[in-house]
Structure 1
Amino acid sequence: MKFNNRANECVTTSDGREIWVSRSVTTAVCILLECKGQPYILVNQRGTGVPDFAGYWNLPCGYLDYDETTAEAAMREVWEECGVNTLELLKIAHCEFFSYPWDINSTPHGKRQNVTIHHGLYAKLEALPAVSNAHNEPNETADIRWLPLAELDTLSFAFNHRQRIADFLAHLAKVSGVSYA
């Protein structure tokens, strides 16, 4: 049989450790909140301390760490990048995708070899939670917003996240009947 793959590579560090270079697992999180009839999505702007796409917007996202589930990684990334406590939002969620992801993307795209697990939730509430970059890595996040859905196309998104938001909205409508098309 012939397979379309490239073998993982073992690299020896200067202190003698062996590290395998392989595909990484990431999480991306869509948090859609309806406040006073208006839908908002949580997004953040990439700062100057990131390796690529500085100045572009994205969903809270990041790499899976050792000893955590993808749901735990998703909650951690939302906390670190946006200062939002997802555990509190899960208590009031009308529809949640933390028990199981709403999508998994494993298709390699050039240099982007990540397997991305997409989590998310939808809730209605009276006031949007405060956001904060107090838990960021240095210069990781330049700005954080609860962006009205009507303004999605006013921002430039990294990592095809604008399309991922559209995909999340379609999935949410399909499984829950909630539609913002």
Structure 2
Amino acid sequence: MNISPGDVSMRRFYEAMVAVITPRPIAWVSTVDAAGTCNLAPYSFFNGVGVNPPTLMFCPANRADGGPKDTLANIRAVGEFVVNIVTEPFADAMKKSADETGPDEDEFVLTGTDKYPSTRVKPPRVRYAAAAIECELLTAMQLGVGPGGANLVVGRIVSIYLNDSILDAEGNPVPEKVNTIGRMGGPTYTKTNERFS
């Protein structure tokens, strides 16, 4: 079976994409608006881009009304964001932070997630995250319009916080200690604590 974007609904094509592009890492993005209100939301179209310059990308889709999500609006206004790495202890809070709320709502508060000041950017990081990547906006491109319209955000990495619990004796992060979770198709997730070479 072959399907093409023009032959099926956008929802059907999305379901096919997320069923086979797996597992997807989750960017739990923290931002602030111009008034200082914090936002925290997960995005599973996310990955690193390169190291020269050190960059990462994630793709926030538009809201159901066709407007930008608070994350994207905040990044455009302030030019900074933090990608918090999601591990098993944060699964429930991460899922709850995906709920659409008003721009004046602080998802850190709504999910009971502690915040902590970042080193180089205004948005705070998740306090007990295994790692948090501080970024300055490099570019934000609108790829689609209307409800579900895709946007591409590329950030220049300016600092990475590494929790001591994931480091070896030399201060290097150990993947087996990070135990991130990944997004699968539909409302399901996967653990990454089983590995092979």
The answer to whether the superposition gives a TM-score over 0.5 is no
- TM-score normalised by structure 1 residue count: 0.29
- Which of the pair has the greater relative contact order for Cα pairs under 8 Å at 6+ separation? 1
Give the TM-score normalised by structure 2. 0.27
